[in-house]
Structure 1
Amino acid sequence: MDLALIDQTKDGVTQYHQDLVTSVLNFAGEFLKLENNTEMSVTFVNNDDIQKYNRDYRGVDKPTDVISFAITEGEDDLESVPDEWQDDIPNNIGDIIVSVDVIQSQAEYLGHSYERELGFLVVHGFLHLNGYDHMLGDAEEKEMFDLQRKILDDYGLKR
């Protein structure tokens, strides 16, 4: 998977945490059996920035932990591209924006590590980019959270 990490935080995200995000999302991509040409981005921000996204795109004027912007490409996007080139064209699934401030406060509140909360939130956003949605009903919520837990546990980021 081609993963772009963008750090827009005031204090900067450590290389260790960037490597963790890369590793856990690559693991999650393999878990879901995504094609190698899959690409996405993760942007790290502080609360003031994520609050703007939350207000502008969700109508909620307060900080949140993670926001996902999925890209859904239509079936006909590749019609004019020769078949032998189609495997080389990246499949951009979207963007995740995550607040490092909320990661810290939620990790403290929940009594687990910053790394566990970071992994939890990026996998959560990643699953949204791949069509999972816990807001559609109880069955969908259970499916998404069970899958999220399985990915994190298998990766080694347990509570």
Structure 2
Amino acid sequence: MSLSIEKEVDLDLEIDYEDIAKLVIEKALDYENCPYESEINLILTDDEGIRVINKEYRNIDRATDVLSFPMVDYEFPSDFSKLEDYTDDYFNPETGELVLGDIIISIPKVYEQAENYGHSIKREFAFLVCHSMLHLFGYDHMEESEASIMEKKQADILEQLGITR
């Protein structure tokens, strides 16, 4: 797995965010039985940075906690069965890795939400990475049935890592 982390702002997370991100991403890849070495980009920004991206790509002019930009079009979430038919579209030609996509997290939102939900910064950061990974696998939470599937997967992954509330 290749993880590229770009820190756009000089804000300290007070946690080992690189190790936590790798741990959660690897567990999510295993949990969803991804058969490929994968490439993920993680961008850490502030509220203004994520607001600009949210406005540009989703036409929503406000800060949010996390944005996910999947690079794979799945027929069904985590359906890896036909991806090799589209090697040029989904795999990095230099590494052969499946390019899953980008995760963008607002560091101030990590702190704010950890406090609001009464859990640790580590747990909130891990949750946002996990949530976003599921989006990169094609899951969504627009419908109640989709949301319950996603919520269960998030809880399972974080529980298996011992990162709970």
Percent of matched pairs sharing the same residue: 33
Q: Per-residue deviation at 1:72?
A: 2.1
CA offsets, 1:62-120, max 9 Å, x none?
A: 110000001026765337xxxxxx9x621101000000000000000111000000000
Match of 1:78 in 2: 87
Distance in 1 between residues matched to 2:45 and 2:121, nearest whole Å:
15
Q: Distance in 2 between matches of 1:12 and 1:158?
A: 22
Residues 12-31 of structure 1 mapped to structure 2, 5 A cutoff: 12-13=12-13, 16-31=16-31
Rounded Cα–Cα distance in structure 1 between residues aligned with 2:144 and 2:102: 26
Residue 153 of structure 2 is aligned to residue 147 of structure 1: yes
1: CA distance between counterparts of 2:47 and 2:55?
12
Q: Which residue of 1 is the match for residue 106 of structure 2?
A: 99
Is 1:121–2:128 an aligned residue pair?
yes
Higher Rg: 1
8 A contact 1:7–1:13 mirrored in 2: no
Unaligned runs of 5+ in 2: 74-82
DSSP 3-state at the match of 2:72? coil
**Cα–Cα, structure 1 residues 12 and 112, in superposed 2: closer, same or farther, change >3 Å?**
closer
Paired with 1:35 and 1:9, the residues of 2 have a C-alpha distance of 34
Counterpart position of 1:112: 119
Q: How many residues align?
A: 151
Question: CA–CA distance in 1 between the matches of 2:14 and 2:164?
Answer: 21
Query: Whole-Å Cα distance in 1 between the matches of residues 2 and 46 of structure 2?
Result: 24
User: CA separation in 2, counterparts of 1:20 and 1:76?
Assistant: 33
